Structure formats: structure tokens, C-alpha cells
């Protein structure tokens, strides 16, 4: 069973619509959709926003549904200069940019597990890289999203980037926030609000996972408007094709 999480309905609604759902369960005020997509058994849920919400949801997926792998799909604010709205970022590792117990413990390190970074699964990442890059290179996005909508966000040929994603319980839209993130984590590609919490839970339970984010905004003064328009118009389409293409090619045990 594969666990799939998005933070908000706009990140997963299109996947729910295509899933063959056999059952739904409400646990801890969240609705879990259980069924198949691309003939792969999966359970899908939106966690709501933030690290606590994401951690609760991830723990439930592991404890109640015994998932063997987890994929997080959603949007993020681009931090590195060359990352544009419509690009996709695949996390090789994640960190919680707002977590800091210095000077009691080393800066930005999660105490007692002695980790600043959590690493995603190389096998899942390989499948995700192959699928997403061939999709983007083939300009397939133009078949799924209208030229009007692509033009609104100036999306032409989106790129796939791989590297560090940081998470925190803040929407990033001010220069000061970006400077602090880059000061503490200079290699940051983008920022969001759940991935590194999912990563910590998966690390502690030893569940292979990956986090894939489409860039909805540039974490700047127009981020609020860009984010809202992007989740209204675009994010569902990316989420659906990313998840479908990965599931088609994922190696799972029959269940
Ligand atoms: N998710 C999408 N855009 C974001 C931003 N600018 N800050 C935090 N999370 C986000």
C-alpha cells in the first residue's frame, strides 16, 4: 500500500477523482481515501497545512494503513533564483528551517536524533526523475493546461530540479524570511510547510518516502496572489500526472 499526501484539497482533488475508491475512513478528523490508481493499491489524504498536521497524517498512514512507501505532492515557493513558477522540485533531502534549539544543541539540528537533514528514497526518486523529466521535456504540460493559464504564470518549458527543500510553519513572502533561510540553508531550492515533518516521521519509522513540489510562487511580495491563483488553476493537474506516472512505474509488493 502506497501512502499519498497533499496538504490541501487543491493538491489532491484530481487524484481522488481518478482513483478507484473502495473505502473511505475518517481518523483524527481527516478523510483517508483507500483504493487503486494505475492498479496500485494506495491510500490518499490531504493533511491540512503545517508540520504538525503533516506529522499526524503521516503517522496515521504508517500505523493504521501500514503503508510501505509514501509520496508527498504539493506546491512550494521558489527560493533559488533560477527556479520558476511551474518548475518541479524533487527533494533529495529536507530540513525544518524554523527548528532551532541552539545553543543547547547544534544549530538547526533535531535534538536526540542528531539530524539536520532527512534524505528521500533513491529508488522512488529515480522513478520520479525519469517520469517527470520525460513528461516535461515532451512539453506535455501544454496538452493538459490551457495556453491562457500557462501564459498567466509565464510557464513555457518547466524544469525539474533536485536538491534541498526546507519546511516551516510560515508562508514565505518577505525578503527577511528568504535571507534567514538562505543564511541557515544556503543550498535551499524551495520552501513549503510540511515536507520535512513528513520526512522526520518517515525516518523514525523507516518508511521510504519522497517529496515532490511544483513551484506556485517565488516566495516574494506577490506570493500570496500567485499561490492562490496557482492552486485554483494549475496545481491539481501537476499533482495528478506526477502521481499517475510514478505509480505506473513504481515497484511494489502485491497487496
Ligand atoms: N507553499 C507554496 N508557496 C509557499 C510559500 N511561499 N511559503 C511557504 N509555503 C509555500
User: Cα(162)–Cα(26) distance, rounded to whole angstroms?
Assistant: 34
Mean pLDDT estimate for the chain: 95
How many Cα atoms sit within 13 Å of 126 on the Cβ side? 7
Task: Choose, from 11, 98, 109, 192, the residue flagged as catalytic.
Answer: 11
Distance CA 137, CA 88 (A): 12
Mutation choice for ligand 1 from 196, 221, 227, 238, CB with most ligand atoms inside 8 A: 227
With a 6 A CB cut-off, is 196 part of the ligand 1 pocket?
no
Residue 23 known to be catalytic: no
Q: How confident is the model at residue 255, as a pLDDT?
A: 46
Torsion of CA 133, 5, 165, 224, to 10 degrees: 100
Query: Which stretches of the chain drop beneath a pLDDT of 70?
Result: 251-255
Residue 33's CB: how many other CB atoms inside 10 A? 20
Q: What is the pLDDT of residue 154?
A: 93
Grid coordinates belonging to 38: 494505475
DSSP 109: P
Ligand 1 centre distance from Cα of residue 196 (Å): 14
Query: What is the set of domains in the chain, with CATH numbers?
Result: 72-250 (3.40.50.1580)
78 lines ligand 1 (CB under 6 A): no
Indicate the angle between helix axes 235-249 and 122-137, nearest 10 degrees.
120
The radius of gyration of the chain's CA atoms, rounded to the nearest angstrom, is 17
> Which pLDDT score is estimated for 252?
62
Task: State how far the Cα of 18 lies from the Cα of 30, in Å rounded to an integer.
Answer: 20
DSSP annotation of 115: B
**Cβ of residue 216 lying under 6 Å from some atom of ligand 1:** yes
Q: What whole-number distance in Å separates Cα of residue 139 and Cα of residue 57?
A: 34
What CA–CA distance (Å, rounded) separates 15 from 9?
10
Query: Cell 524551495 belongs to which residue?
Result: 190
pLDDT, one tens digit per residue, over 92-117 is 999 999 999 999 999 999 999 999 99
Catalytic-role residue among 109, 192, 194, 217: 217
Residue with C-alpha cell 513558477? 85
Report the nearest-CA residue for atom 9 of ligand 1. Answer: 192
Let me know if 129 is exposed, middle or buried by CB neighbors in 10 A (0-12, 13-18, 19+): middle
How many whole angstroms separate alpha carbon 174 and alpha carbon 69?
A: 35
Confirm whether 11 is a catalytic residue: yes
Per-residue pLDDT reduced to its tens digit, 14-33: 999 999 999 999 999 999 99
SS3 of 121, please?
coil
Amino acid at each position: 500500500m502506497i501512502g499519498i499526501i497533499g496538504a490541501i484539497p487543491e493538491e489532491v482533488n484530481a487524484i481522488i477523482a481518478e482513483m478507484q475508491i473502495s473505502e473511505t475512513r475518517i481518523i483524527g478528523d481527516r478523510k483517508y481515501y483507500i483504493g487503486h490508481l494505475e492498479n496500485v493499491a494506495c491510500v490518499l489524504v490531504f493533511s491540512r497545512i503545517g508540520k504538525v498536521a503533516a506529522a499526524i497524517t503521516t503517522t496515521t498512514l504508517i500505523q493504521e494503513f501500514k503503508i510501505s512507501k509514501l509520496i508527498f505532492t504539493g506546491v512550494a515557493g521558489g527560493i533559488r533564483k533560477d527556479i520558476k513558477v511551474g518548475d518541479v522540485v524533487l527533494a533529495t533531502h529536507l530540513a525544518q528551517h524554523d527548528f532551532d534549539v541552539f545553543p543547547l544543541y547544534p544549530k538547526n539540528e533535531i535534538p536526540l536524533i542528531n539530524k539536520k537533514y532527512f534524505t528521500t528514497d533513491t529508488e522512488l526518486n529515480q522513478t520520479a526523475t525519469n517520469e517527470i523529466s520525460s513528461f516535461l521535456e515532451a512539453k506535455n504540460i501544454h496538452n493538459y493546461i490551457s495556453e491562457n493559464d500557462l501564459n498567466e504564470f509565464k510557464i513555457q518549458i518547466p524544469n525539474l530540479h533536485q536538491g534541498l527543500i526546507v519546511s516551516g510553519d510560515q508562508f514565505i513572502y518577505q525578503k527577511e524570511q528568504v535571507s534567514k533561510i538562505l543564511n541557515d540553508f544556503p543550498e535551499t531550492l524551495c520552501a513549503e510547510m510540511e515536507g520535512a515533518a513528513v520526512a522526520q516521521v518517515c525516518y523514525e519509522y523507516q518508511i521510504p518516502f519522497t517529496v515532490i513540489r511544483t513551484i506556485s510562487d517565488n516566495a516574494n511580495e506577490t506570493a500570496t496572489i500567485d499561490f492562490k491563483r496557482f492552486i485554483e488553476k494549475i496545481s491539481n493537474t501537476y499533482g495528478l500526472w506526477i502521481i499517475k506516472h510514478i505509480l505506473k512505474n513504481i515497484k511494489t509488493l502485491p497487496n
